[in-house]
């Protein structure tokens, strides 16, 4: 029996992966995996417990038995709603540091792969197409200029009621890009055969349409 199909959407921070992946998933009636939220949950646990973000073994222990529930757009862990707490820039920056640890990446692999359920999965992150789902039917590398990503992140944070300054965001984004792209383990890079999509001048609808069109072409081929 063929494996449940996966569409992998990877790319740098604030490139719009989450929005696009969720829209593609709901159009197709598929499941959605926000892999970054797992790194954010572990990072938040580390911040709360004073765990060293460079200690892979300790971070892997924090990921042990993690069973987040994704319900109506909220993320619950052990019945605590962490949806807002994991979206702060502090949690995002800590997640990017923790994510460089191979032991943590290995600890989160099974949880991510178990999200592959019929009829299909749209997964977003950094290594969905390169490491977690190398047999994905479609791999997309979604990018956008650093300025437009800083503006999008700014809008997103303000809408959630957080304060944010564009110049700080620009610096953080550039740092996070560098860290994600330069790490030894699962660095951020387009997977082999990935559709590279620059969304700087595309609307959300246009970007979603481009992904769906690429998927239909793949399936027809």
Q: Could you list the residues that contact ligand CDP (CB under 6 A)?
A: 13-14, 35-36, 39-40, 92, 95-96, 99, 125-127, 176, 180
CB of 221 to ligand CDP, least distance (A): 27
Least distance to ligand CDP from the beta carbon of 15, Å? Answer: 7
Smallest gap from Cβ 218 to ligand CDP, in A, equals 22
Angle at alpha carbon of residue 152, lines to 146 and 153, rounded to 5°: 90
Q: Which residue, judged by CB position, is nearest to ligand CDP in the bound state?
A: 36
**Alpha helix positions (H), the chain:** 17-28, 35-49, 56-63, 89-98, 102-113, 146-159, 166-182, 204-220
Instruction: Give the strands of the sheet with 121-125, arranged side by side.
Output: 31-34, 121-125, 6-10, 138-143, 195-198
Helices 56-63 and 102-113: crossing angle in degrees, nearest 10, is 20
Which CB sits closer to ligand CDP, 8 or 208? 8
Q: How far is the CB of 220 from ligand CDP (least distance, A)?
A: 29
CB 12 within 8 A of CB 125: no
Measured from the CB of residue 153, what is the shortest distance to ligand CDP in angstroms?
8
Tracing tokens 């990877």 back to the chain, one arrives at 10
User: Considering beta carbons, is residue 158 or 219 the nearer one to ligand CDP?
Assistant: 158
C-beta closer to ligand CDP: residue 57 or 217:
57
User: What does the alpha-carbon distance between residue 28 and residue 108 come to, in Å, rounded to a whole number?
Assistant: 26
Q: Report the residue number, 200 or 219, with the smaller CB distance to ligand CDP.
A: 200
Q: Which is nearer to ligand CDP, 2 or 161 (CB)?
A: 161
The encoded tokens of residue 156 equal 């997103």
Q: Which is nearer to ligand CDP, 14 or 115 (CB)?
A: 14
CB burial readout 86-123, b (16+ within 10 A) else e: bbbbebbbbbbbbbbbebbbebbeebbeebbeeebbbb
In the complex, least distance from residue 99 CB atom to ligand CDP, rounded to whole angstroms: 3
């Amino acid at each position: 029996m063929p494996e449940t199909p996966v569409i992998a959407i990877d790319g740098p921070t604030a490139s719009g992966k989450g929005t696009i992946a969720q829209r593609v998933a709901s159009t197709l009636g598929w499941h959605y995996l926000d892999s970054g939220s797992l790194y954010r949950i572990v990072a938040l646990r580390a911040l709360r417990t004073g765990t060293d973000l460079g200690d892979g073994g300790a971070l892997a222990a924090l990921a042990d038995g993690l069973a987040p529930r994704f319900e109506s757009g909220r993320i619950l862990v052990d019945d605590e709603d962490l949806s807002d707490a994991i979206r702060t820039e502090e949690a995002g920056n800590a997640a990017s540091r923790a994510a460089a640890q191979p032991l943590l990446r290995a600890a989160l692999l099974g949880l991510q792969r178990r999200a592959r359920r019929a009829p299909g999965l749209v997964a977003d992150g950094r290594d969905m197409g390169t490491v977690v789902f190398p047999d994905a039917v479609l791999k997309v590398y979604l990018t956008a200029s650093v300025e437009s990503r800083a503006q999008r992140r700014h809008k997103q944070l303000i809408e959630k009621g957080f304060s944010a300054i564009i110049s700080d965001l620009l610096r953080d984004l550039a740092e996070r890009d560098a860290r994600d792209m330069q790490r030894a383990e699962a660095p951020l890079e387009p997977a082999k055969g990935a559709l590279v999509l620059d969304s700087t001048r595309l609307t959300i609808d246009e970007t979603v349409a481009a992904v769906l069109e690429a998927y239909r072409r793949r399936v027809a081929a």
